[in-house]
């Protein structure tokens, strides 16, 4: 090491450069090459690789599903890969089933913003974000859902993500976000182990168990209780309402909580 520093000192003296400036000149090309390194493809599924510059490193234990609100996937990809937008996601699933890969799964994409789930207030640091090409009002086409199911199965197998940790943007940001919306087929996903679902009849909920307790135990932020109720109803009842939970909805929430605790949906 001393020999290297001596050589650097001799060269910098000849060039009239401070040693630190010379070392920076030596290392800058390797730093630039590192910044332009190809995006490592970890999934075995066919994907279109479109690297996004917006990320930070972490290990995923959740999957957060979004819809793009765009008219087509191309517009969404432009937004998600433009540095000035400040937003990104790991994957985008187009209407035709094409999967676009934008941020390394091990790195932190910027997709959930201010969010909360089950005590975690920094969902971006612990999740994989998937944008689904949908304007928020249209049905989700079959090729898109089939591609999404394949991607979720791949992620779950490689990262051992529990069924309860597949959530929507509206779940982790109630009152601020509603995606992937009331048209999203959560029941179908739960049947494959991606999320939770319960069918009636439901056991009666013990007296004194209020909505806030049930929803908080499921993972929702109940600081805005009407918004949390709205998120629950949108996902599990496909309705837009912030009214207090009905007895049937309370029974379903209790059933979901039991499945979350027992891991019953972890196929």
CA-CA distance, 49 to 200, in Å (whole number)?
43
CA-CA distance, 64 to 80, in Å (whole number)?
15
CA-CA distance, 124 to 120, in Å (whole number)?
10
Q: Which residue among the candidates 57, 114, 131, 146 is catalytic per the annotation?
A: 131
CA-CA distance, 190 to 263, in Å (whole number)?
12
Query: Which string of DSSP letters, residue by residue, matches 83-135?
Result: GGG----SEEE-TTS-EEE-S-TTEEE--S-S--BTTBS-GGGGEEEEEE---
> Which string of b and e fits 5-20 if b means at least 16 CB within 10 Å?
eeebeeebeeeeeeee
- Indicate if 131 belongs to the active site: yes
Q: Return the active site residues.
A: 131
């Amino acid at each position: 090491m001393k020999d290297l520093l001596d050589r650097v000192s001799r060269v910098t003296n000849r060039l009239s450069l401070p040693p630190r400036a010379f070392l920076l000149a030596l290392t800058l090309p390797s730093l630039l090459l590192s910044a332009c390194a190809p995006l490592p493809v970890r999934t075995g599924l066919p994907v279109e690789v479109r690297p996004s510059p917006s990320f930070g490193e972490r290990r995923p234990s959740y999957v957060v599903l979004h819809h793009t609100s765009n008219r087509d996937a191309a517009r969404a990809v432009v937004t998600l890969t433009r540095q000035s937008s400040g937003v990104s996601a790991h994957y985008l699933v187009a209407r035709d089933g094409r999967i676009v890969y934008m941020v390394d799964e091990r790195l932190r994409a910027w997709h959930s913003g201010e969010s909360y789930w089950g005590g975690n207030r920094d969902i971006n640091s612990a999740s994989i974000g998937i944008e689904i090409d949908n304007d928020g009002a249209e049905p989700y086409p079959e090729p898109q859902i089939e591609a999404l199911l394949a991607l979720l199965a791949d992620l779950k197998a490689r990262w051992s993500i529990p069924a309860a940790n597949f959530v929507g943007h509206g779940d982790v940001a109630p009152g601020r976000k509603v995606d992937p919306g009331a048209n999203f087929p959560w029941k179908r996903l739960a049947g494959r182990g991606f999320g939770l679902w319960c069918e009636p009849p439901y056991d009666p909920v013990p007296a004194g168990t209020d909505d806030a307790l049930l929803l908080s135990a499921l993972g929702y932020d109940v600081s805005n209780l009407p918004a949390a109720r709205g998120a629950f109803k949108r996902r599990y009842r496909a309705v837009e309402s912030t009214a207090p939970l009905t007895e049937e909805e309370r029974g379903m929430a209790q059933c979901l909580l039991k499945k979350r605790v027992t891991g019953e949906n972890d196929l």
